[in-house]
């Protein structure tokens, strides 16, 4: 493993240099990787593994939109595409990439096909960490491993096609065969990870749920909405409010942060912007810190898991979800966003 240094702190990570693709292929040469679920993570991971030369099959419910997508992506019914149960039976490594609700619903079926020596792979620690609520408790004679790409399956695939990688965490929850670490890291390299950093199932799900509700999605939407609404209230046009809130951030500044870091961006903006950002960032940090503490406590206690499971169990969940998403889509801010995106140079 390689060492990364963060100030005075060192962390061991796995890169393609220490664990090249050829080694990953050798480790998994006798395995059949069954990707169960073709929704969010399934397509990216399955296609990347396939393109990297691994023996991959896909399991998905026949007649679903995801089945049709798998067919359009080149998976062949009866050869590389099967119903969930048949794929579970055929696979020696079961990549359990159904939604959290789907994993709960299909667990009894999948458990039946986890014969000794197989590996059960997750990309989210939810099912195992909150086992008291999900009922997902793997037998002791199978490897239980995790590779969690730090981004969507769409991003994982796009970066892979572009010759790049998406960083992933990995974890060994159970090593029944003595090969769990090698299997796990090989899969992490195979799905297209940039580098792999070690965690455990509990830390993965705690950080993931906090991030999704926080700076990755929930908090950022809240921050965007608060600034946009204030600018509109003060008489700024939708174009001005949206461009100063979202467009400049996502199209100009965030890519610079990704490439060079926040310190570099601060050092390379106007002195007025620089002074204001330095003066105000700690005020925002201190204002939201109590909200993040409340959020983490809700994740740690299992309350967020309970809310998610309860919501997904409702018969009208999809209907209500569509209403919430429609409200977001039809808000003035994101209607302005749709119009602004159409006016980007590549679209005109």
- Backbone φ and ψ for 27, nearest 5 degrees, come out as -60, -40
Tens-place pLDDT, residues 142-166: 999 999 999 889 999 999 999 999 9
CATH number for the domain harbouring residue 158: 3.40.50.720
Residue 63 sits in the same domain as residue 128: yes
Last residue of a domain, one of 152, 170, 199: 199
Do 231 and 325 belong to one domain?
yes
User: Active-site residue 124, yes or no?
Assistant: yes
| Model pLDDT, residue 76 | 97
| 214-230 pLDDT per residue, tens | 999 999 999 999 999 99
Same domain as 159, residue 16: yes
Question: Is 38 domain-assigned?
Answer: yes
Q: Does a structural domain hold residue 301?
A: yes
Tell me the pLDDT tens digit for each residue of 100-137: 999 999 999 999 999 999 999 999 999 999 999 999 99
pTM of structure:
0.91
User: In the listed set 149, 165, 199, which residue is the last one of a domain according to the structure?
Assistant: 199
pLDDT above 70: residue 348: no
In a domain, 45, yes or no: yes
Res 262 pLDDT > 70? yes
Residues 259 and 130 in one domain: no
Query: What range does the domain containing 159 cover?
Result: 2-199
**pLDDT of residue 1 exceeding 80:** no
| The total number of structural domains that make up the chain | 2
pLDDT at 346: 81
Of the residues 113, 124, 173, 236, which is catalytic? Answer: 124
Task: Dump pLDDT digits (tens) for 185-212.
Answer: 999 999 999 899 999 999 999 999 999 9
């Amino acid at each position: 493993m390689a060492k990364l240094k963060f100030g005075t702190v060192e962390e061991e990570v796995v890169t393609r240099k220490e664990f090249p693709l050829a080694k990953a292929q050798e480790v998994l040469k006798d395995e059949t990787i069954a990707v169960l679920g073709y929704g969010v993570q399934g397509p990216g991971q399955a296609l990347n593994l396939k393109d990297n030369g691994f023996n991959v099959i896909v399991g998905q419910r026949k007649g679903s939109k995801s089945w049709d997508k798998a067919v359009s992506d080149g998976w062949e019914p009866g050869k590389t595409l099967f119903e969930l149960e048949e794929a579970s039976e055929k696979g020696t490594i079961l990549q359990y990439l159904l939604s959290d609700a789907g994993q709960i619903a299909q667990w009894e079926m999948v458990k039946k096909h986890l014969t000794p020596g197989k590996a059960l792979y997750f990309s989210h620690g939810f099912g195992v960490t909150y086992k008291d609520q999900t009922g997902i408790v793997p037998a002791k004679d199978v490897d239980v491993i995790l590779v969690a790409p730090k981004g969507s399956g769409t991003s994982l695939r796009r970066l892979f096609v572009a010759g790049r990688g998406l960083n992933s965490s990995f974890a060994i929850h159970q090593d029944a065969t003595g090969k769990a670490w090698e299997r796990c890291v090989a899969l992490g390299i195979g799905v297209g990870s940039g580098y792999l950093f070690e965690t455990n199932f509990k830390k993965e799900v705690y950080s993931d749920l906090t991030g999704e509700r926080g700076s990755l999605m929930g908090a950022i939407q809240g921050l965007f909405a608060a600034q946009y609404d204030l600018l509109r209230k003060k008489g700024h046009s939708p174009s001005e409010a949206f461009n100063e809130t979202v467009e400049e951030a996502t199209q100009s500044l965030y890519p610079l942060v990704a490439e060079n870091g926040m310190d570099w961006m601060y050092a390379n903006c106007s002195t007025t912007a620089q002074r204001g950002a330095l003066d105000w960032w700690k005020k925002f940090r201190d204002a939201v810190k109590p909200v993040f503490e409340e959020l983490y406590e809700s994740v740690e206690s299992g309350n967020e898991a309970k809310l998610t499971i309860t919501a997904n169990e409702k018969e009208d969940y999809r209907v209500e979800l569509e209403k919430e998403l429609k409200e977001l889509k039809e808000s003035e801010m994101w209607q302005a966003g749709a119009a602004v995106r159409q006016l980007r140079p590549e679209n005109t």
